């Protein structure tokens, strides 16, 4: 398994040079998030990820979770690592001080989540889902529910899950059958089976708080009849069984260290969260958090695979450079001299670093939405940006991250296919990211149909205006090579969006036919914006006399690679999306 090294310098560059974290924290009233404090948190978080979690990554893959006598046991070292995580106060970093949290911005917690995710994705899913449960309870729970559950979730003493899927329904939640019967004391009794529940049962925490979708007896059919409930594994007062049992754990392609469970609710006691029959809307607080978390998985896979591939490419000797020996004192040149190996490494780097900027930017918009001193205008813009960028981040970064993981195997050649190097584990662990929290196709349909066409591109215009302002303010001789193609692409984005809208008015199948290519186009242009910002920040640092010139020049050169070698992929996706639905829909079902 590649040794994980926290990319502290790249994280700092993205936070401060590119996204202006210091100004951002002041703007949202989080003055306590000083640079000195953030630097200390980054240092300690990096140590925990490198020294505690990374060594357990391959252990978790090889041992997996065990299910015996109705109990789930996590791999060796996982439980002890979680105890260290809780003792270090990491779960409470961005928690509400009213419930024992440290009150730092959510965007700060996202940075630590990146370290955890890259070092050991399977382990990181256990506390990761707890955060979504906290956000959902904070937004829709009663005061009594908040007082009962949030202190334990904030401290990490208890963990949380999201229970949506059933065997007969995945994304189409309107088909779910789990039912909730009201009781005289205001509680409900839930019965049903949920599948694919990540971290649904384990031995790492005292209790597990399940956020569950189910139907009331008089509920209408479809998605309009779904309610949301909080159902703990153990009674919160007595810590006795609450009739929530793990029926089995899945045998999976990857993330073996995380227990993916079948959960049986057999007359389990729970309480309603939010209004009756409005559970799907309430659950989107959790789902949107989970989608950005899954985007992180794509970015983390690219970063982890890049670190392993870069180290190997520097050491592995094979052939001579086409232009002549670069290391004549050795029997062959290291493979990093070869153009195709550089193509793969730079692609991984561009995805990892561009993805980091996209996720951090989204987390800053979340800060703005939650900040008490944000104006309504600021919140409206942040909400629109989140609505557009969340499906792009989830779908594009998981697709691109999987590509990067595969490139890591390719750099290693035959050794990449061997388990001891750990590169193939990254591929297996990452493959799920394109499936859960809504597949790539579902995210793409959400973007094009529900976020862009439904309001005639109004929400999209918030994002293209951000890109427009950047292009307007950075038109100079040094930045021209980035600004001109970026301006051309964002203008084109709006033009063909309108054309797709007109086509969709004549034939709704056009939306589904174009959506994935539309999403990929959107992702490539979005990352182009962030790489242009990287180049701009690097030029500014060099103009100000930065000492580490090679570092900043490396950002500019990588931006140039992205614009020359990666951004042109967007043209292919534009041509495919505009080619129409006819070739897809011509065959009758019986002709397949």
pLDDT tens digits, 40-95: 999 999 999 999 999 999 999 999 999 999 999 999 999 999 999 999 999 999 99
pLDDT for res 2: 82
Kindly give the pairing relationship between strand 188-198 and strand 179-182: antiparallel
User: Are the C-beta atoms of 180 and 188 separated by less than 8 Å?
Assistant: yes
Q: At what angle do helices 54-63 and 121-140 cross, to 10 degrees?
A: 100
Q: At what angle do helices 54-63 and 78-87 cross, to 10 degrees?
A: 150
| 423-444 core/surface letters (b: 16 or more CB in 10 A; e: else) | bbbbbbbbbbbbebbbbbebbb
pLDDT for res 242: 98
270 bridge partner residues = 188
pLDDT at 288 over 90: no
Whole-angstrom distance, CA of residue 399 vs CA of residue 354: 14
pLDDT at 286 over 80: no
State the catalytic residue, choosing from 166, 399, 424, 437: 437
Please tell me the CATH code under which domain 282-440 is placed.
1.20.140.10
197 bridge partner residues = 261
pLDDT for res 292: 93
249 bridge partner residues = 261
User: Are the C-beta atoms of 194 and 178 separated by less than 8 Å?
Assistant: yes
pLDDT tens-digit map of 122-141 = 999 999 999 989 999 999 99
Q: What is the DSSP string of 214-249?
A: EB-TTPPSGGGG-EEEEEESB-TTT--B-SEEEEEE
pLDDT for res 172: 86
Whole-angstrom distance, CA of residue 435 vs CA of residue 252: 13
Burial degree of 247 (CB within 10 A; 0-12, 13-18, 19+): middle
- Report yes or no on whether pTM surpasses 0.85: yes
Which of the four pLDDT bands, split at 50, 70 and 90, describes residue 247? very high
Which of the four pLDDT bands, split at 50, 70 and 90, describes residue 26? very high
User: Are the C-beta atoms of 72 and 259 separated by less than 8 Å?
Assistant: yes
Mean predicted lDDT score pLDDT of the chain: 96
CA distances from 536 to 197, 304, 470, 542 (A): 43, 26, 10, 10
- Residue 574 contacts by C-beta under 8 Å, 6 or more apart in sequence? 492, 496, 517, 521
pLDDT for res 174: 85
pLDDT for res 284: 82
pLDDT for res 173: 85
Which of the four pLDDT bands, split at 50, 70 and 90, describes residue 170? confident
Closest to 558 measured CA to CA, from 384, 373, 364, 348: 348
Closest to 228 measured CA to CA, from 159, 153, 137, 143: 137
Whole-angstrom distance, CA of residue 284 vs CA of residue 291: 10
Span 289-314, average pLDDT? 96
- Torsion angle, CA of 220/223/229/231, rounded to 10 degrees? 110
pLDDT tens-digit map of 188-212 = 999 999 999 999 999 999 999 999 9
pLDDT for res 141: 96
pLDDT at 263 over 80: yes
pLDDT at 1 over 80: no
pLDDT tens-digit map of 415-440 = 999 999 999 999 999 999 999 989 99
Range from 110-119, 171-180, 373-382, 510-519 carrying the lowest mean pLDDT? 171-180
Burial degree of 27 (CB within 10 A; 0-12, 13-18, 19+): middle
pLDDT at 456 over 80: yes
Quote the percentage of the chain above a pLDDT of 70.
100
Which H helix or E strand runs over 119?
Answer: helix 106-119
Does residue 437 carry a catalytic annotation?
Answer: yes
- How many other CB atoms are there within 10 angstroms of residue 587's CB atom? 9
- How many other CB atoms are there within 10 angstroms of residue 491's CB atom? 13
């Amino acid at each position: 398994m590649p040794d994980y090294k926290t990319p502290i310098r790249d994280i700092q560059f993205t936070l401060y040079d590119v996204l202006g974290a210091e100004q951002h924290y002041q703007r949202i009233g989080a003055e306590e998030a000083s640079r000195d404090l953030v630097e200390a948190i980054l240092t300690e978080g990096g140590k925990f990820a490198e020294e505690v979690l990374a060594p357990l990554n391959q252990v978790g893959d090889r041992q997996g979770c065990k299910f015996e006598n109705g109990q789930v046991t996590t791999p060796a070292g996982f439980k002890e690592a979680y105890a260290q995580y809780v003792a270090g106060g990491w779960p409470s970093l961005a928690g509400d001080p009213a419930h024992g949290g440290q009150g730092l911005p959510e965007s700060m917690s996202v940075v630590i989540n990146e370290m955890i995710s890259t070092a050991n994705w399977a382990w990181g899913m256990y506390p990761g889902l707890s955060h979504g449960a906290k956000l959902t309870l904070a937004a829709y729970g009663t005061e009594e529910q908040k007082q009962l559950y949030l202190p334990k979730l904030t401290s990490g003493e208890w963990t949380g899950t999201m229970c949506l899927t059933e065997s007969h329904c995945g994304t189409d939640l309107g088909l779910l059958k789990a039912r909730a019967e009201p009781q005289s004391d205001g509680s409900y009794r839930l019965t049903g089976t949920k599948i694919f529940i990540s971290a649904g049962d384990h031995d790492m925490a005292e209790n597990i708080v399940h956020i569950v979708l189910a139907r009331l007896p008089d509920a209408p059919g479809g998605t309009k009849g779904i309610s949301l409930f909080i159902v703990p594994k153990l009674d919160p007062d007595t810590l006795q069984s609450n009739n929530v049992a793990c029926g089995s754990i899945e045998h999976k392609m990857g993330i073996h260290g995380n227990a993916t469970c079948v959960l049986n609710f057999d007359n389990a006691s729970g309480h309603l969260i939010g209004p009756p029959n409005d559970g799907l809307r309430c659950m989107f607080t959790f789902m949107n958090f989970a989608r950005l978390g899954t985007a992180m998985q794509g970015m983390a896979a690219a970063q982890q695979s890049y670190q392993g591939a870069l180290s190997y490419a520097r050491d592995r000797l094979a052939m001579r450079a086409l232009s002549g020996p670069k290391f004549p004192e050795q029997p062959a040149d290291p493979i990093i001299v070869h153009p195709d190996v550089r193509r793969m490494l730079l692609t991984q780097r561009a995805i990892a670093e561009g993805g980091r900027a996209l996720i951090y930017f989204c987390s800053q918009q979340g800060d703005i939405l939650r900040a008490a001193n944000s104006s309504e205008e600021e919140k409206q813009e942040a909400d629109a940006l989140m609505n557009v960028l969340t499906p792009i981040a989830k779908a594009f970064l998981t697709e691109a991250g999987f590509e990067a993981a595969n490139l890591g195997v390719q750099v290693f050649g035959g050794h990449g296919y061997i388990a001891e190097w750990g590169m193939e584990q990254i591929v297996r662990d990452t493959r799920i990211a394109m499936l859960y929290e809504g597949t790539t196709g579902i995210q793409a349909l959400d973007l094009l149909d529900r976020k862009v066409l439904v309001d005639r591109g109004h929400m999209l215009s918030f994002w293209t205006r951000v890109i427009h302002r950047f292009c307007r303010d950075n038109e100079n001789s040094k930045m021209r090579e980035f600004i001109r193609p970026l301006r051309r692409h964002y203008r084109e984005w709006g033009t063909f969006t309108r054309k797709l809208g007109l086509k969709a008015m004549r034939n709704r199948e056009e939306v589904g036919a174009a959506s994935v290519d539309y999403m990929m186009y959107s992702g490539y242009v979005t990352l182009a914006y962030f790489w242009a910002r990287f180049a701009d920040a690097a030029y500014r640092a060099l103009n100000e006399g930065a000492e580490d010139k090679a570092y900043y020049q490396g950002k500019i050169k990588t931006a140039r690679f992205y614009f020359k070698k990666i951004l042109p992929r967007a043209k292919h996706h534009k041509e495919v999306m505009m080619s129409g639905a006819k070739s897809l829909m011509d065959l009758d079902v019986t002709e397949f």
